[in-house]
Chains A and B, each alone.
Chain A
Amino acid sequence: MALLSIRNLTTVFNCQEGMVKACNNVSLDINQGQTLGLIGETGCGKSVLGLSILKLLPVNAVSSGQIIYNNQDLLALSVKEMCQVRGSEIGFLPQSPATALNPVLRIGEQLTEGLQLHQGMVKEKARVIAMDMLKSLGLKDCDKRAADYPHQLSGGMKQRVVAAMSITGQPSLLIADEPTKGLDAVNRAQVIDLLRQLTIKTKASLLLITHDLKVAVALCDEIAVMYSGEIVEKGSADQVLNNPLHPYTQGLVASLPERGLFPIPGYSPSLLDDIPGCRFYSRCPIRNENCKHQPVINREVNGVHVRCLYVDQSGGTQQRIYGRGFQSEAV
């Protein structure tokens, strides 16, 4: 039984220009203790998916489908019931720690606040626990640091404080939204260590939203690739990145610096457009007429779910695409 299972989730934003389909028929499962990586480019709907789970989207967003967490459908819960879930059941690690902290409160207060709220502790006890948490995440002289304001901490320290805050409610699922964005190499490695430590210590499942393939490989058991609001490929981390089946995933892997930096030509389609066929059609090197009109369904090949009409059972399209498409069309 999966801890969280998302079934046919569609999130639509009603805007002046029309309906923006940020998530289109997304289905995902996260098991207890598993780490799932959600990768894709900017604007493909990764963060919207994460926020849909927590129902933290603005009012003009409408989600339909099912998000089943521990046998209850989160989409059917009232605002009050949802507050019980946020933090204590599902924790959220926001994108930039610098803006996630309240600049006018000392970090000790911000940490104990969560403990008091979720676990009903008295202030003194919460303080002791908070110090323990900071210490276990490797922050030096926590007693002194707890009296600091966020601007007095370095980026790495803030990240640890935010991480500690996200687990104050002892959640069994943690959603981390681009935790390594804009960090340099050394800090990035440290954040990865931190997340790994967190998942081992709390035994929580992790939904890691990132555009950094290397981070995903380092941390995740399973990887789902998202493109233009749809999950195009989903499977174990090793398989998806070492033997990608979908042409988009292949393009992503080929555009890594150590694989030669071969770009995918073109740009992704607007989420406003309603495309009957494959959404990757305009950029795909192995497209043909069928892809343009025929709706593409998910298929399973060697345990990997892939949304493409032309993946053969052996998964042997890879060489062909590398040889022709990406290299010759490279800008």
Chain B
Amino acid sequence: MEELSKEYTAGVFNRKRFKVLDGVSFSVKPGETLGLVGESGSGKSTVARTMLGLIPPSSGRVLYQDQEVLSPKGRMKKEFCGKMQIIFQHPESALNPRMKICESLLEPMIIQKKDLTRKEMKSRRWELLQQVGLSEEHLNRYPHELSGGQIQRVVLARILSLSPQFLVADEPTSMLDVSVQAQVLRMLKQIQAENGIGLLFISHDIEVVNWMSDRIAVMYKGQIVESAPAEELCQNPFHPYSRLLVESFSSLKQYSAKRDWVENNYTGEAGGCHYYSHCPQAGPDCRQRPVLKETGAEHYIACWLT
């Protein structure tokens, strides 16, 4: 993924431009998990959707095994769709409410794998069910008859039926309880390890991300401000925003006055660090746009203070 940008425009007379993604670049290796954290509205989900071509980017490109993903059409595009899949935040809305689970599970195979016979599909469906820990009784139900954790399992089984190489998980557990979250995440990690899937794991819960990921990238207002191996980031966050994120998890106990309400206002100043107005250490340099620099082993930071 290289230099991806997305701009939205709003208004008829007074056109405003919102830079939702601003030159985001990263790469995910096979079998690796990259965690993406950031506050709501920082553009995490937009990254996920642009990568899979669900919304067209304003500029930049996405490469999958050195091949451009977004430009091909027709059969080629369908092939990419099979290899790159996404788990959405609200699994309830990802399943057709009028289809029984058994039909929902066959649907992706019917579209993508035309060479399979019905019988093979059904036996494959059986394997998948076991893999995600569901039983046969669930097959005859409708999505509204299942709990959140079960639906998330069905969604995962659907995705696995296409044996994808790359998976985006867009806050897969933000709506689930801690114990169900643990079930789903463990399953996801196990399946990923068995099939060598590259995973982009998006969440705002830095502890969950730390547990899931090999590397973590922190996003703030459409830019990646820091990226480092998971352990490293949680122990030595450098960028002031990453520090705030890590701190707000570890220090719920005391009241801290410096923790001011962060407000989302995309004034879209040209250039300059996006975090400038909130940064406690902002200096004159920060009026220019910082670039990602490597400061340690695989530790990249976009801040002038380095």
B-facing residues in A223-275 (Cβ within 8 Å): 251-252, 255-258, 261-265, 267
Bound Cα distance A197, B256 (Å): 12
Distance between B44 CB and nearest chain A CB, rounded to angstroms: 10
Give which listed residue, A154, A190, A211, A215, contacts B264 with CB less than 8 A: A154
Bound Cα distance A267, B151 (Å): 13
Judge if B8 is at the interface, Cβ distance under 8 Å: no
Mask of A187-204 contacts with B, CB within 8 angstroms, 1/0: 111101100110000000
Bound Cα distance A80, B96 (Å): 45
Distance between A73 CB and nearest chain B CB, rounded to angstroms: 33
Interface residues on chain B, size class: 35 or more
Is there contact, CB below 8 Å, between A41 and B207?
Answer: no
Is there contact, CB below 8 Å, between A41 and B180?
Answer: yes
Distance between B253 CB and nearest chain A CB, rounded to angstroms: 6
Judge if A218 is at the interface, Cβ distance under 8 Å: yes
B190 surroundings in chain A (CB, below 8 A): 331
Q: How many chain-A residues does the 8 Å CB contact rule pick out? A: 42
Is there contact, CB below 8 Å, between B244 and A186?
Answer: yes
Is there contact, CB below 8 Å, between A211 and B177?
Answer: yes
Residue of B nearest to A182 (CB): B174
B38 surroundings in chain A (CB, below 8 A): 184
A256 surroundings in chain B (CB, below 8 A): 178, 207
Is there contact, CB below 8 Å, between B255 and A263?
Answer: no
Judge if B10 is at the interface, Cβ distance under 8 Å: no
Interface residue stretch chosen among B20-28, B51-59, B120-128, B181-189: B181-189
Residue of A nearest to B133 (CB): A331
B-facing residues in A141-184 (Cβ within 8 Å): 154-157, 182-184
Is there contact, CB below 8 Å, between A257 and B183?
Answer: no
Give which listed residue, B186, B244, B252, B256, contacts A331 with CB less than 8 A: B186
Is there contact, CB below 8 Å, between B40 and A214?
Answer: no
Judge if B248 is at the interface, Cβ distance under 8 Å: yes
Judge if A288 is at the interface, Cβ distance under 8 Å: no
Is there contact, CB below 8 Å, between A187 and B252?
Answer: no
Mask of B231-275 contacts with A, CB within 8 angstroms, 1/0: 000000000000011001101110110010111100000000000
Is there contact, CB below 8 Å, between B211 and A184?
Answer: no
A217 surroundings in chain B (CB, below 8 A): 252
A215 surroundings in chain B (CB, below 8 A): 252
Is there contact, CB below 8 Å, between A187 and B179?
Answer: no
Known: A185-B204, A185-B206. A262 touches B182 (CB 8 A): yes
Mask of B159-175 contacts with A, CB within 8 angstroms, 1/0: 00000000000000011
Is there contact, CB below 8 Å, between A138 and B261?
Answer: yes
Distance between A326 CB and nearest chain B CB, rounded to angstroms: 9
Is there contact, CB below 8 Å, between A218 and B179?
Answer: no
Distance between B219 CB and nearest chain A CB, rounded to angstroms: 11
Judge if B67 is at the interface, Cβ distance under 8 Å: no
Judge if A282 is at the interface, Cβ distance under 8 Å: no
Judge if B39 is at the interface, Cβ distance under 8 Å: yes
Residue of B nearest to A190 (CB): B261
Give which listed residue, B183, B210, B244, B252, contacts A192 with CB less than 8 A: B252
Is there contact, CB below 8 Å, between B207 and A42?
Answer: no
Judge if B102 is at the interface, Cβ distance under 8 Å: no
Judge if A304 is at the interface, Cβ distance under 8 Å: no
Is there contact, CB below 8 Å, between B261 and A331?
Answer: no
Is there contact, CB below 8 Å, between A257 and B186?
Answer: no
Distance between B152 CB and nearest chain A CB, rounded to angstroms: 12
Residue of A nearest to B205 (CB): A185
Bound Cα distance A185, B207 (Å): 10
Bound Cα distance A190, B177 (Å): 21
B-facing residues in A294-326 (Cβ within 8 Å): none
A138 surroundings in chain B (CB, below 8 A): 261
Distance between B149 CB and nearest chain A CB, rounded to angstroms: 8
Is there contact, CB below 8 Å, between B255 and A193?
Answer: yes
Judge if B295 is at the interface, Cβ distance under 8 Å: no
B205 surroundings in chain A (CB, below 8 A): 185, 257
Judge if A330 is at the interface, Cβ distance under 8 Å: yes
Bound Cα distance A188, B206 (Å): 13
Is there contact, CB below 8 Å, between A258 and B178?
Answer: no
Distance between A160 CB and nearest chain B CB, rounded to angstroms: 8
Is there contact, CB below 8 Å, between A331 and B179?
Answer: no
Is there contact, CB below 8 Å, between A42 and B186?
Answer: no
Known: A42-B177, A182-B174, A331-B187. A261 touches B182 (CB 8 A): yes
Judge if A213 is at the interface, Cβ distance under 8 Å: yes
Known: A184-B39, A263-B183. A189 touches B148 (CB 8 A): no
Is there contact, CB below 8 Å, between B261 and A257?
Answer: no
Most buried by A among B149, B182, B244: B182
Known: A185-B245, A257-B210. A193 touches B259 (CB 8 A): yes
The 5 closest A-B pairs by CB, nearest first: A263-B182, A218-B252, A255-B182, A184-B204, A263-B183
Q: A185-B205, A190-B259, A218-B252 are in contact. List 9 more A-B contacts (CB 8 A).
A: A190-B261, A193-B259, A213-B178, A255-B178, A256-B178, A257-B205, A257-B208, A261-B185, A331-B133
Query: 5 A-B contacts, Cβ less than 8 Å apart?
Result: A185-B206, A189-B251, A189-B259, A255-B179, A330-B182
Interface residues, chain B, CB within 8 Å of chain A?
A: 38-40, 133, 147-150, 174-183, 185-187, 190, 204-208, 210-211, 244-245, 248-249, 251-253, 255-256, 259, 261-264
